[in-house]
Structures are given as structure tokens and as C-alpha cells.
């Protein structure tokens, strides 16, 4: 799947999960730059991504994510 398409769908997902439409979804984005990105909302983000792209990550894959770039790479490998 095309990276640009993934980023544009992630933008919608971030707005939905974090209730904030001003988030710039970039490869370098991490939890510390987003208000409300705590451990609970992290799980909710992952679950929403899984549902939107109809994939399921393994627990170790989820544990190894460092930033949005990693997430996009994972989606690209699966979707």
C-alpha cells in the first residue's frame, strides 16, 4: 500500500483517537509530542489501526514500535 495513502488514513485515525485535528502525522512523531498519548490510548490507537487496515500485529511488533515511521513500515509490510 502506498505510503501517502497510509499517512492520510493515519491522520484521520489520530484525529479520532486523540480528539485533535491539528496533529501532523510524520515519520518522526512519537508519543511525547501528542497530548493524551498515554499507554491506554496507545493501545486504542493500535487497535484502531488494526481495524482500519484489517491486520493484526503481534505483541512483540507492538512492543518494538519507536515512532510513526515504524508503524507505517509495519502496516506496509502487512496491508
The residue ranges that bind other proteins (CB under 8 A) are 15-17, 19, 21, 39-40, 43-44, 47-48, 59, 62
Shortest distance, CB of residue 20 to other proteins, whole angstroms? 10
Residue nearer to other proteins on the CB measure, 39 or 66: 39
Burial 31-64 (b: 16+ CB within 10 A, else e): eeebeebeeebeeebbebbeebbeeebeeeeeee
Residue nearer to other proteins on the CB measure, 50 or 70: 50
Amino acid at each position: 500500500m502506498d505510503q501517502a495513502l497510509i499517512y492520510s488514513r493515519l491522520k484521520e485515525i489520530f484525529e479520532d483517537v486523540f480528539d485533535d485535528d491539528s496533529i501532523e502525522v510524520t515519520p518522526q512523531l512519537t508519543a511525547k509530542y501528542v497530548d493524551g498519548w498515554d499507554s491506554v490510548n496507545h493501545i486504542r490507537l493500535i487497535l484502531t489501526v488494526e481495524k482500519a487496515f484489517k491486520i493484526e500485529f503481534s505483541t512483540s511488533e507492538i512492543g518494538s514500535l519507536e515512532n510513526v515511521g515504524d508503524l507505517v513500515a509495519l502496516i506496509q509490510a502487512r496491508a
